[in-house]
C-alpha cells in the first residue's frame, strides 16, 4: 500500500495556499507535515480527506484516487469536535455506524479505548444518585483534554488503515501526551499509515521517518529525516568548561549560536574544526565539563529553513 500526493494545488482566489505539493509514503509509519501557522498543513489534510475541492493535482491511495468513503481512515481534526449536549456513548456509536462498524463490535471497541485512555468513568458512570440510574456524561461536561481523548477514540473506532492526526498533542498535559504517544506507537506496530501535523518538533523526531516542511503553501524541505540531518553534518558543538573559552572561540572565528549557563552552542564547519577546537582547549588546560558534537535538531532545521525562506 502507498499514499501519494502529486502536484497538489489549492487556491483561494488569487492566493495559492498549497503550491504543487508532492510527497509519497511507501510504507507504514508516521509522515510529518510541518509548517508555521497558515503554511497549508490543515488545508492539505482536508484535501486528502476529500473535504475540500482543489485546483489541480492528485491524492492517490494504492494508485487510485483516495476516496474517504472507500478507504477506512481515521481523522483527528485540529479543532476538536463533539456534540456538546449529547451523551458520549451515543455520539461514539453514531460515528462508528458512519464508519460501517456493527453496533456490538463498536461497543467492544469503545470499552477497549475507554480503558486505554482512562475515560471509562465518563462513558460508563457507576455512581447512583438518590437511587436513580447514573447519568451519562455529555461532552460539554468534560475537560478539553478528555474531549480530545474521546475525539481520538472516534478516529480509531473503525480500526483505520490510514490515520490523519492534525496537531494531536496540542493542549495535552504531559501524562496524557505520553498516553497519546503510546497509542501512536501501538498504531505503528500495527502497520498503520499515519500522517501527522505538529508544531512539537521533539514529537516529530520521536516518531517520523519522513517529513515535509511547508512554508506559505510551498514545500521547502522534504525527505527522510535522518538523511536530512546527515546532509547537514555534525556541525553543532555544545561546550561547557570551567574556564574562559571566548579567546579560543575568537581565535577559531566560530559562530556562537547561543550562550547559556549550561554552556555554549557553537556552529562549526565540520568534525575536523570541532576536534581542533577540543585539542586547543586541552592544550590551554581548560577543564572541559561537557563536549558534544551533533547533527542539527529538527527544530533548528525548521527555524533555519522557514526563517531563510521568509527572509
Cell of 169: 498533542
Phi, psi angles (nearest 5°) of residue 139:
-60, -35
Query: Which CB sits closer to other proteins, 11 or 179?
Result: 11
Query: Which CB sits closer to other proteins, 52 or 172?
Result: 52
CB of 83 to other proteins, least distance (A): 6
Radius of gyration for the chain, computed over Cα atoms and rounded to the nearest angstrom: 24
CB of 75 to other proteins, least distance (A): 5
CB of 99 to other proteins, least distance (A): 6
Query: Which CB sits closer to other proteins, 85 or 285?
Result: 85
CB of 93 to other proteins, least distance (A): 9
Q: How far apart are CA 68 and CA 52, in angstroms?
A: 12
Q: How far apart are CA 209 and CA 214, in angstroms?
A: 16
CB of 220 to other proteins, least distance (A): 24
How many of the other CB atoms lie within 10 Å of CB of 283? 9
CB of 116 to other proteins, least distance (A): 20
Query: Which CB sits closer to other proteins, 10 or 229?
Result: 10
How many of the other CB atoms lie within 10 Å of CB of 267? 15
Query: Which CB sits closer to other proteins, 13 or 63?
Result: 13
Structural contact between residues 240 and 290, judged by C-beta atoms closer than 8 angstroms: yes
Instruction: Using CB under 8 A, list all residues that contact other proteins.
Output: 13, 46, 49-58, 65, 68-70, 73, 75, 77, 79-86, 90, 94-95, 97-99, 151, 154-155
Q: How far apart are CA 163 and CA 188, in angstroms?
A: 11
Query: Across the chain, which distance is largest between two alpha carbons, in Å?
Result: 81
Q: How far apart are CA 298 and CA 32, in angstroms?
A: 12
Structural contact between residues 57 and 5, judged by C-beta atoms closer than 8 angstroms: yes
Helix (H/G/I), strand (E/B), else coil: 225: helix
Query: Which CB sits closer to other proteins, 86 or 291?
Result: 86
CB of 79 to other proteins, least distance (A): 4
Q: How far apart are CA 183 and CA 102, in angstroms?
A: 23
Query: Which CB sits closer to other proteins, 83 or 112?
Result: 83
CA dihedral of 88, 91, 94, 99, whole degrees rounded to 10: -90
Query: Which CB sits closer to other proteins, 86 or 124?
Result: 86
CB of 1 to other proteins, least distance (A): 18
Amino acid at each position: 500500500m502507498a499514499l501519494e500526493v502529486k502536484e497538489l494545488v489549492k487556491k483561494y482566489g488569487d492566493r495559492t495556499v498549497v503550491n504543487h505539493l508532492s510527497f509519497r509514503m511507501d510504507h507504514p509509519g508516521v509522515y510529518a507535515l510541518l509548517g508555521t501557522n497558515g503554511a497549508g498543513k490543515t488545508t492539505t489534510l482536508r484535501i486528502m480527506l476529500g473535504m475540500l475541492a482543489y485546483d489541480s493535482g492528485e491524492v492517490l491511495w494504492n494508485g487510485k484516487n483516495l476516496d474517504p468513503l472507500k478507504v477506512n481512515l481515521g481523522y483527528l481534526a485540529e479543532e476538536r469536535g463533539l456534540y456538546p449536549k449529547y451523551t458520549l456513548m451515543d455520539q461514539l456509536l453514531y460515528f462508528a455506524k458512519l464508519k460501517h462498524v456493527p453496533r456490538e463490535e463498536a461497543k467492544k471497541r469503545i470499552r477497549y479505548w475507554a480503558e486505554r485512555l482512562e475515560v471509562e468513568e465518563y462513558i460508563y458512570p457507576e455512581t447512583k444518585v438518590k437511587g436513580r440510574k447514573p447519568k451519562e456524561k455529555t461532552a460539554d461536561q468534560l475537560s478539553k483534554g478528555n474531549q480530545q481523548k474521546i475525539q481520538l477514540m472516534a478516529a480509531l473506532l473503525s480500526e483505520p488503515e490510514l490515520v490523519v492526526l492534525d496537531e494531536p498533542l496540542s493542549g495535552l498535559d504531559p501524562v496524557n501526551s505520553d498516553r497519546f504517544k503510546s497509542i501512536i506507537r501501538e498504531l505503528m506496530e500495527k502497520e498503520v499509515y499515519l500522517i501527522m501535523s505538529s508544531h512539537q518538533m521533539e514529537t516529530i523526531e520521536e516518531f517520523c521517518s519522513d517529513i515535509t516542511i511547508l512554508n506559505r503553501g510551498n514545500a521547502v524541505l522534504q525527505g527522510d529525516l535522518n538523511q536530512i540531518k546527515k546532509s547537514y553534518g555534525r556541525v553543532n558543538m555544545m561546550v561547557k568548561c570551567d574556564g574562559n573559552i571566548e579567546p579560543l572561540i575568537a581565535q577559531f572565528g566560530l559562530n556562537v549560536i547561543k550562550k547559556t549557563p549550561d554552556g555554549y552552542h557553537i556552529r562549526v564547519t565540520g568534525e575536523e574544526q570541532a576536534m581542533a577546537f577540543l585539542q586547543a582547549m586541552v592544550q590551554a588546560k581548560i577543564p572541559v565539563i561537557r563536549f558534544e558534537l551533533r547533527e542539527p535538531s529538527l527544530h533548528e532545521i525548521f527555524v533555519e529553513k522557514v526563517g531563510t525562506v521568509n527572509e
